[in-house]
């Protein structure tokens, strides 16, 4: 898998999207050559939902929430409920890892097109509790942070699974 954090241009949009693509590719790279069984293992006693599969599914649904629900203002059809707010991590073990990774990659490509079609200053349609709205730039920065943070979790889980480490 090719990953690059060097943008082809130095404008703000290209830098943001390059880094988001980089952290997405890093998440996928953490799952290379991993069996479904290993991807479903909960290795941290205090975090039974934290599996490699669960984290990939979580990243997918986090992007869905920020782009479709917050930015576009669509109805929230995510898998979570008030009773089970982390359901996307719980149900991930019901799917092959390859399916989760493919869906994440396909969705990422669609969201890249969405980002390309909007100005970074475009405000999200869904307002925050205080009545303000974040802009697309903020959403991109947040997703880079969120994905990079979970890449650390993926890295730890992968090393605990089979000793594999990476960059």
Full-model pTM: 0.93
> Is the pLDDT reported for residue 1 higher than 60?
no
Asked whether the beta carbons of 28 and 1 are under 8 A apart, the reply is yes
Alpha carbon 139 to chain centroid, angstroms = 12
Give the pLDDT confidence of 110-160 residue by residue, as tens digits: 999 999 999 999 999 999 999 999 999 999 999 999 999 999 999 999 999
Pick the closest to residue 41 from 166, 165, 161 (CA basis).
Answer: 161
Handedness of CA 37, 39, 42, 44 (dihedral sign): positive
Pick the closest to residue 158 from 37, 31, 27, 26 (CA basis).
Answer: 31
Give the pLDDT confidence of 74-108 residue by residue, as tens digits: 999 999 999 999 999 999 999 999 999 999 999 99
Rounded CA-CA distance 115/136 in Å is 8
Rounded CA-CA distance 133/57 in Å is 26
Topology given in CATH for the domain delimited by 12-162: 1.20.120
């Amino acid at each position: 898998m090719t990953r690059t954090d060097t943008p082809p241009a130095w404008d703000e949009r290209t830098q943001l999207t390059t880094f988001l693509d980089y952290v997405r590719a890093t998440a996928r790279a953490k799952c290379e050559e991993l069996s479904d069984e290993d991807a479903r293992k909960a290795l941290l006693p205090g975090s039974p939902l934290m599996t490699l599969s669960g984290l990939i599914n979580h990243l997918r649904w986090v992007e869905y929430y920020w782009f479709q629900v917050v930015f576009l203002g669509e109805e929230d059809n995510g898998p979570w409920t008030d009773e089970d707010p982390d359901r996307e991590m719980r149900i991930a073990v019901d799917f092959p890892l390859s399916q989760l990774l493919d869906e994440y990659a396909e969705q990422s490509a669609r969201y890249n097109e969405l980002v390309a079609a909007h100005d970074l200053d475009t405000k999200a349609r869904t307002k925050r509790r205080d009545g303000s709205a974040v802009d697309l730039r903020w959403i991109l920065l947040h997703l880079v942070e969120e994905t990079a943070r979970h890449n650390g979790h993926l890295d730890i889980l992968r090393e605990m699974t089979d000793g594999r480490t990476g960059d």
